[in-house]
Amino acid sequence: MLPPGLLKRVDGVVGPRGYLDRAEDLSLYEYDGSVDKHRPDLVVFPRSTAEVSALVKLAAEFQVPVVGRGAGTGLSGGAIPREGGIVVGFARMNRILEIDLENQRAVVEPGVVNLDITLAVQQAGYFYAPDPSSQRACTLGGNVAENAGGPHTLAYGVTTNHVLGLQLVLADGSVIETGGKEMDLPGYDLTGLLTGSEGTMALVTRVTVRLMRRPERVETALAVYGSNEDAGRTVAEITARGITPVAVEMLDGVMLRMVEEATHAGYPMDAAAVLLIELEGLKEIVEEQSALIREACLAAGAREFRLARSAEERDLLWKGRKNAFGAVGRVSPTYYVQDGVVPRTKIAPTLHFIGEVAARCGLTISNIFHAGDGNMHPIILFDARKPGDLEKAQAAGEEILRYCIDAGGSITGEHGVGMEKNELMARQFSEPTLDTMRRFKLLFDPANRLNPGKVLPTGRGCLEIRQRPLEPASTVY
Q: Residue 184: which pLDDT band, with cuts at 50, 70 and 90? A: confident
DSSP one-letter string for 14-54: H-TTSEE-SHHHHGGGS--SSS-----SEEE--SSHHHHHH
Identify the band that residue 1 occupies on the pLDDT scale cut at 50, 70 and 90.
confident
Instruction: Please state the domain count of the chain.
Output: 5
Residue 455's domain spans which residues? 425-477
Rounded percentage of the chain residues whose pLDDT exceeds 70: 96
Q: Is the pLDDT of residue 461 over 60?
A: no
Shared-domain flag, residues 348 and 316 = no
Residue 12 pLDDT: 98
Please, what is the Cα angle at 126 between 206 and 218, to 5 degrees? 130
* Residues 204 and 154 occupy one common structural domain: yes
Distance CA 51, CA 209 (A): 23
Is residue 19 a part of any domain in this protein?
Answer: yes
Given 272, 295, 326, the domain boundary residue is: 326
108 and 194 part of one domain? yes
Whether 416 is in a domain gets the answer no
Are residues 228 and 287 located together in one domain of the fold? yes
Answer yes or no: do 429 and 362 share one domain: no
On the question of pLDDT at 430 being above 90, the answer is: yes
Q: Examine residue 415 and state whether it is found in any structural domain, yes or no.
A: no
Rounded to an integer, the average pLDDT of 174-185 is 92
253 and 317, same structural domain?
Answer: yes
Q: Which of 307, 326, 345 is the last residue of a domain?
A: 326
d(CA 148, CA 130): 7
Residue 348 forms part of a structural domain:
yes
Q: For 463-474, how does the pLDDT look when each residue is reduced to its tens digit (9 = 90+)?
A: 333 444 434 333
**Average confidence (pLDDT) over 243-257:** 95
CB 224 within 8 Å of CB 269? no
pLDDT for 361-392, tens place per residue?
999 999 999 999 999 999 999 999 999 999 99
CA distance 204 to 265: 37
Query: Is residue 437 one of the residues assigned to a domain?
Result: yes
* pLDDT tens per residue, range 350-359: 999 999 999 9
Regarding whether 240 and 297 lie in a shared domain, the answer is yes
Q: Are residues 183 and 100 in the same domain?
A: yes
Please tell me whether residues 285 and 225 are part of one structural domain: yes
In degrees and rounded to multiples of 5, residue 312 shows phi and psi of -65, -40
How many angstroms separate the CA atoms of 224 and 213, rounded? 31
Say if residue 209 is in the same domain as residue 245.
no
Please indicate, yes or no, if residue 150 is contained in any of the structural domains.
Answer: yes
Residues 354 and 444 in one domain: no
Q: Stretch 429-450: mean pLDDT, rounded?
A: 97
Report if residue 233 sits inside a domain. Answer: yes
Residue 207 and residue 135 share a domain: yes
Residue pLDDT, tens place only, 78-112: 999 999 999 999 999 999 999 999 999 999 999 99
* Mean pLDDT score across all residues of the chain: 94
Residue 471 lies in a domain: yes
Quickly list DSSP for 304-373: EEEE--SHHHHHHHHHHHHTHHHHHTTT-SEEEE---B--GGGHHHHHHHHHHHHHHHT-EEEEEEEGGG
Domain edge (last residue) among 89, 124, 146:
89
CATH assignment of the domain containing 84: 3.30.43.10
